[in-house]
Amino acid sequence: MAEVTRISRRFKDISLSFQPHPVTGDLPVLLNENAIKQSVKNIVQTIPGEKFFNSAFGSDTRGSLFELVDIAVADQIKVQIITSIENFEPRVNNVDVSVKLASDRNELDVTVFYEIIGQDFPAQQFSFILEATR
Domain annotation covers residue 19 = no
SS (H, E, C) 25-94: CCCCEEEHHHHHHHHHHHHHHCCCCCCCCCCCCCCCHHHHCCCCCCHHHHHHHHHHHHHHHHHHCCCEEE
- Tell me if 17 is assigned to some domain: no
Give the pTM: 0.78
Please report whether residue 41 resides in a domain: yes
Rounded average pLDDT over 59-66: 77
Number of domains present in the structure of the chain: 1
- Given a cut of 60, whether residue 8 has pLDDT beyond it is no
- pLDDT band at 2; cut points 50, 70, 90: low
pLDDT value of position 110: 92
**Is a pLDDT exceeding 90 seen at residue 34?**
no
- 47: containing domain: 31-131
For the chain, the average pLDDT equals 83
CATH of the domain at 113: 3.10.450.40
User: Cα separation of 115 and 96, whole Å?
Assistant: 10
Assess whether pLDDT exceeds 70 at residue 1: no
Whether 91 is covered by a domain: the verdict is: yes
Residue 44, in any domain of the structure: yes
Is residue 44 scored above 80 in pLDDT? yes
- Please give the biggest Cα pair distance in the chain: 53
Residue 8 within any structural domain of the chain: no
